[in-house]
Amino acid sequence: MNAPVDLSPAAVFPDSARAAFAAGYPEMPHKLTHALGAHPLMELDALARLAEALPAASIEYNAADQPIGIDGKPAPTGIPIGETIRHIETTRSWAVLKNIEQDPAYAGLLADLLAEIQPAIEARTGRMLKTQGFVFVTSAGGVTPYHFDPEHNILMQVRGSKVMTQFPAGDTAYAPDEVHETYHTGGGRELRWHEGLLPGGRDFALKAGEALFVPVMAPHFVRNGPEPSVSLSITWRSEWSFAEADARAFNGLLRKLGLAPSPPGRWPARNRAKALGWRIARKLGAA
C-alpha cells in the first residue's frame, strides 16, 4: 500500500468549477476544470502498486479494443495487472481499480476532493452516502462499452484524453426499464447498442485538467484518445439515488408478477413508496 500523501483542501476544483457544479447538479451533465495535475498517487507505478495490493474483486482489466456494444464482460488479457498498468503504452489494455478508498492514501485523496463539492451536493440531494473512487488506465484507442452506473460521478481526466458519449438519464430509448430492474436485482448493466442510438448522444471531449459530471444512470460509452489515459472517478450516492434503485428493483418484482409498472421518477421525485415496498419484500424473503 502507498504512504499517505497530503493534498491541501480546496486546492483542486477552482471557484468557477464549483459554481458550475452547483448549478448543474444533480441532473445536468457538464464539464469542469480541476488542478489535480500530475499527482503522485496517479502515476503509473503508484497505480500498479495499488492494483497489486487490492483484492482481486477490486480489479477488472481486459483488452482495450472492444466494440461499443458488448454482451457480458470481456475476458482478461492474461497479462498481470501490475505489468498491464506499468506498460499501458504497449499492453493494449483497459483496467479499472475499484474502491481505491481501501488504501488509506487514496481514501484521503477521495475525501479531500469530495469535501470541496460537499456543500453543493448536500444542498441538493442530502448527505453524501457510500463515497467511492475508481481509477481507469487505458491504452491508446481503447473503448469502454455502452453501460450505465448507479452513482453520482465526476470523471477527472489526469493524463491523456478521451471522449465520453453520454445519453439522457431515465430515457427508456437508451436504457430500457427491464435492464435497470435486472441490474438492481443482481444482474449486469451492459446495454444493447445499435447505431440508431448515436444521434441521441452528446460528446464530451476531455483532456488532462478537465472533468465531467455524469448523472446517475446516464448511459454512456468512452473512446480513449491517441495516447494512454489515466482518469479518476470520484463517486457518491444519495438517499434519492438509493430510493430510485430500490424502486427499480421493486418494479422488477412487480414485472415478474405479470404487471407493467411505471418507471420511477427522476430528481426530485423521492420514489419512497416503491422503495419501501422493495425493502419490505426483502425482509419478508419475497425478493
246 and 231 housed in the same domain: no
Q: Which helix (H) or strand (E) holds 163?
A: strand 161-166
Q: What is the pLDDT of residues 237-265, one digit of tens each?
A: 999 999 999 999 999 999 999 999 999 99
190 and 271 housed in the same domain: no
Over residues 49-64, the mean pLDDT reads 95
Can you tell me the distance from the alpha carbon of 176 to that of 256, in angstroms, rounded to the nearest whole number? Answer: 16
Give me the chain's average pLDDT, please. 93
Prediction pTM value: 0.92
Label residue 8 by pLDDT band (50, 70, 90).
very low
Q: What is the pLDDT of residues 160-208, one digit of tens each?
A: 999 999 999 999 999 999 999 999 988 887 799 999 999 999 999 999 9
Single-letter residue type at 31: K
- The pLDDT, as a whole number, for residue 4 is 53
Structural domain boundaries enclosing 262:
242-283
Tell whether the model's pLDDT for residue 69 goes beyond 60. yes
Total Cβ atoms within 10 A of residue 262: 10
Residue 10 falls inside a structural domain: no
For residue 238, what are the contacts with CB-CB under 8 A and spacing of at least 6? 26, 121, 125, 126, 127, 128, 129, 152
142 and 249 housed in the same domain: no
Residue 147 falls inside a structural domain: yes
Q: What is the pLDDT of residues 127-162, one digit of tens each?
A: 999 999 999 999 999 999 999 999 999 999 999 999
Tally of domains in the chain: 2
